[in-house]
Every structure is written in structure tokens, then in C-alpha cells.
């Protein structure tokens, strides 16, 4: 443990969810997406880069493993650093909101961001062992396109305090974007371990496993069964932790297409449950296309034909006809 740790350290449960109990230490590259109807609405996960103010939320608390002397040091550092950091973060969030906005003078915004960067540099020289400062500065640099500099700050925060899930997640994002999914997975797994109740971290891990399956297999550290099980459990955890988030529920249902041995009966149950939560019209009909697609794979053509007959939305007709074309010709009616 370093001599100095920030007073504001993440104090989250450290238990690893059952889904990851036998997961290998690292993961990695993409399999083609299965042919399936498009989602009825945007299903992108929430932006993985939080605002600077996020580090002052309820996830931060005083570490429990400090000696009385270390606690006194941390309290003294926080008393001086935290008010100033709050000020920097408030300006940071305001400037990032103005960046690219039509109503703001972009030249002035960029100049003010540059000045803020200078002030962060001075702040971190004053408080070189204060991890939250490196976290918020790293988030700022990432938002203005300085990705490598952002990662440098986040790595420093990680060295000072390795128990920050927001840092693990951001480092995982960077490595995934850089084409290093095996290395990225280790950070995502750490984020899940540190913050098991954060649905986004589960979603990120599931997405990486589904997209980079071949690389993980080539690494020799994962079997296809481990990848499939952990991927699907990650999406299920995300759905269960955020039951009102359609993106997570839809991606969990789609995960059955990613399995080496799809469990189609279970998939139909999941799509049926999701349909019950959807609004009539486009959303419900899209779910029915998904169910019809599965029924065709199961060669339950009569059931698929009935479901397809209920899809009337114009936006779905092209996909509907693709599925109809996979049905065998109906037998001619018997003559009397």
C-alpha cells in the first residue's frame, strides 16, 4: 500500500460475482454479428466516460485500511485539495458542455480549456499523491482528444490507488479501442470486481467478449464455453442491475445468437418477457421478428408464419420478407 492514498477512495464490495469465479485472468477479437432484426430504438449503452463530478458521488468514501497516522495525513490532504478540485471539476464540466455547442464562442472555450489544463498541472504538482485529481484530469484530457495523455493520468491514478473502478473501466476502454482486447479484459474484470453493482461494467465486459471472441480463443487462456458463459452472464447481470434500461435487456436477449450452442427455448422466453415490457407497434413487432427468426432456426415453421403475419409496420417489411423467404412453401390445399 502506498504511503499516501486519497481520502476519496472507492469503497465498494470486493466480492467477485459467481459468473466470474472461474474466469481466466485475461481475455480478445470479433465474431460476425448474427443476422437478426434491427433494434426498435437506440440500444447503445450509456456513455462510458462520466463527468468530472462523478468522482465526488456516493461511491467515494474513506478507505478502511489506513493506520491512524495515515488517516491524519489523508484528512490534511483532503482539507486542502478537495475544495480546489471541486472548483476545477465544476469549470471542467461547464466547459465540456459548451465545447461544440452552437451558442458558445468556441475559440474562447478552447482557450479556457487550455488554461484549465495549466491549472490542473499546477494542482497535481501541489498534490502529487491525490488520485481523484489524476482521475478528473484524465477524463478532461480524454474528452478533448488527448487520449494518450489521458491514459497517462489514469495510470498514475491507478498506481496511487488501485481500487478505483472508474479508472479500471477507462483503461479498459482505451485498450479495447487500441485493438488490445486481452489486456482490456483484465481491467474490465477488475472494474466488475470492485463495483459489482454497476451495470455498465458488466455490459462492457460482455461486449468485449462477444466482439473479440477469436482473440480470446487464440490467447489460450479461455475456452469457448468460458467465453460464452461469462459473456452471457455479464449481459444478464447488466440487465438485472438496470431493469429499466432497454439497451441492456435487448443485448442480453441478442446474446443467445452469440453462443456456440444456442439455447433457443430459453431465448424465446427472454424475448417474450421483453415483448411484455415494450410499447405496442414497432417495438413489439421487432421482438416478434426476433422470435420468428428463432422459430425458423428450430424448424417450427407454422409458429413462425403466425408470428410474421402479425408484423405490419412498414419499417420492418424488408426484414420480414427475408424471414418469410426462409419458410418452406405451404402445402397446396387438398381438393374435395
Q: What is the SS3 assignment for 116?
A: helix
Q: What is the SS3 assignment for 39?
A: coil
Q: Percent of the chain beyond pLDDT 90?
A: 68
- Residues with Cβ < 8 Å from 207, sequence gap 6 or more? 45, 251
Task: Give 50's pLDDT tier (boundaries 50, 70, 90).
Answer: low
Considering only 85-94, 217-226, 231-240, 323-332, which range has the smallest mean pLDDT? 323-332
* pLDDT on residue 157: 94
pLDDT of 7 > 60? The answer is no
Task: Give 267's pLDDT tier (boundaries 50, 70, 90).
Answer: very high
pLDDT of 55 > 80? The answer is no
pTM, rounded to two decimals? 0.78
pLDDT of 224 > 70? The answer is yes
Which residue's entry shows cell 479498459? 172
Taking only the tens place, the pLDDT of each residue in 281-317 is: 899 999 999 999 999 999 999 999 999 999 999 999 9
Taking only the tens place, the pLDDT of each residue in 141-162 is: 999 999 999 999 999 999 999 9
Count CB atoms within 10 A of the CB of residue 281.
Answer: 11
Residue 297: exposure state from Cβ atoms within 10 A (0-12, 13-18, ≥19) = middle
* Local structure of residue 18 (DSSP, 8 states): G
More confident call, 168 vs 20 = 168
CATH architecture of 9-18+28-42+51-195: Alpha Horseshoe (1.25)
pLDDT of 24 > 70? The answer is no
Integer Cα distance of 169 and 331 in angstroms = 56
* pLDDT on residue 31: 35
Instruction: For residue 110, give Cα distances in angstroms to 82, 98, 101, 153, 277.
Output: 25, 10, 12, 20, 44
Q: Judge contact between 287 and 275, C-beta under 8 A.
A: yes
pLDDT of 3 > 90? The answer is no
pLDDT of 33 > 50? The answer is no
As a whole number, the mean pLDDT across the chain is 82
* pLDDT on residue 278: 87
Which residue's entry shows cell 463530478? 53
* pLDDT on residue 96: 94
Q: Judge contact between 70 and 76, C-beta under 8 A.
A: no
* pLDDT on residue 76: 75
Q: Judge contact between 126 and 88, C-beta under 8 A.
A: no
pLDDT of 68 > 80? The answer is no
More confident call, 6 vs 327 = 327
Integer Cα distance of 241 and 232 in angstroms = 14
Average pLDDT over residues 39-46: 47
Average pLDDT over residues 43-54: 47
Instruction: For residue 335, give Cα distances in angstroms to 96, 302, 331.
Output: 73, 21, 12
Taking only the tens place, the pLDDT of each residue in 105-150 is: 999 999 999 999 999 999 999 999 899 999 999 999 999 999 999 9
Q: Judge contact between 324 and 332, C-beta under 8 A.
A: no
Instruction: For residue 140, give Cα distances in angstroms to 144, 151, 283, 308.
Output: 7, 11, 37, 49
Q: What residue spans define the domains of the chain? A: 9-18+28-42+51-195
Structural Rg of the chain based on CA atoms = 24
**Exposure b/e, 81-91, CB count within 10 A at least 16 = b:** bbebbeebbeb
Q: Judge contact between 277 and 249, C-beta under 8 A.
A: yes
Q: Judge contact between 114 and 105, C-beta under 8 A.
A: no
Task: Give 42's pLDDT tier (boundaries 50, 70, 90).
Answer: very low
* Local structure of residue 29 (DSSP, 8 states): B
Amino acid at each position: 500500500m502506498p504511503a499516501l492514498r486519497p481520502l476519496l477512495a472507492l469503497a465498494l464490495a470486493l466480492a467477485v460475482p459467481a459468473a466470474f469465479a472461474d474466469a481466466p485472468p485475461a481475455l480478445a477479437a470479433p465474431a460476425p454479428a448474427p443476422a437478426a432484426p434491427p433494434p426498435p430504438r437506440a440500444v447503445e449503452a450509456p456513455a462510458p466516460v462520466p463527468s468530472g463530478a462523478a468522482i465526488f458521488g456516493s461511491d467515494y468514501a474513506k478507505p478502511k485500511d489506513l493506520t491512524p497516522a495515515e488517516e491524519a495525513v489523508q484528512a490534511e490532504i483532503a482539507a486542502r485539495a478537495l475544495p480546489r478540485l471541486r472548483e476545477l471539476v465544476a469549470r471542467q464540466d461547464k466547459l465540456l458542455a459548451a465545447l461544440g455547442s452552437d451558442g458558445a464562442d468556441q475559440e474562447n472555450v478552447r482557450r479556457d480549456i487550455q488554461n484549465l489544463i495549466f491549472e490542473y498541472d499546477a494542482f497535481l504538482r501541489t498534490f502529487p499523491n491525490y488520485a481523484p485529481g489524476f482521475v478528473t484530469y484524465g477524463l478532461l484530457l480524454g474528452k478533448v482528444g488527448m487520449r494518450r495523455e489521458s491514459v497517462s493520468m489514469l495510470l498514475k491514478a491507478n498506481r496511487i490507488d488501485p481500487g478505483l473502478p472508474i479508472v479500471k473501466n477507462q483503461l479498459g476502454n482505451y485498450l479495447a479501442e487500441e485493438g488490445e482486447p486481452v489486456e482490456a479484459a483484465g481491467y474490465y474484470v477488475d472494474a466488475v470486481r470492485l463495483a459489482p453493482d454497476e451495470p455498465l461494467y458488466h455490459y462492457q465486459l460482455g461486449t468485449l467478449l462477444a466482439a473479440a471472441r477469436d482473440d480470446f480463443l487464440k490467447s489460450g487462456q479461455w475456452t469457448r464455453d468460458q467465453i460464452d458463459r461469462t459473456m452471457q452472464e455479464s449481459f444478464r447481470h447488466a440487465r438485472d442491475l438496470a431493469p429499466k434500461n432497454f439497451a441492456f435487456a435487448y443485448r442480453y436477449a441478442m446474446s443467445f445468437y452469440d453462443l456456440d450452442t444456442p439455447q433457443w427455448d430459453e431465448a424465446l422466453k427472454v424475448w417474450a418477457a421483453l415483448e411484455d415490457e415494450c410499447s405496442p407497434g414497432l417495438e413489439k413487432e421487432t421482438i416478434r421478428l426476433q422470435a420468428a427468426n428463432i422459430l425458423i432456426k428450430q424448424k417450427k415453421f407454422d409458429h413462425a408464419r403466425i408470428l410474421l403475419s402479425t408484423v405490419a409496420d412498414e419499417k420492418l417489411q424488408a426484414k420480414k420478407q427475408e424471414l418469410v423467404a426462409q419458410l418452406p412453401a405451404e402445402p397446396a390445399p387438398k381438393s374435395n
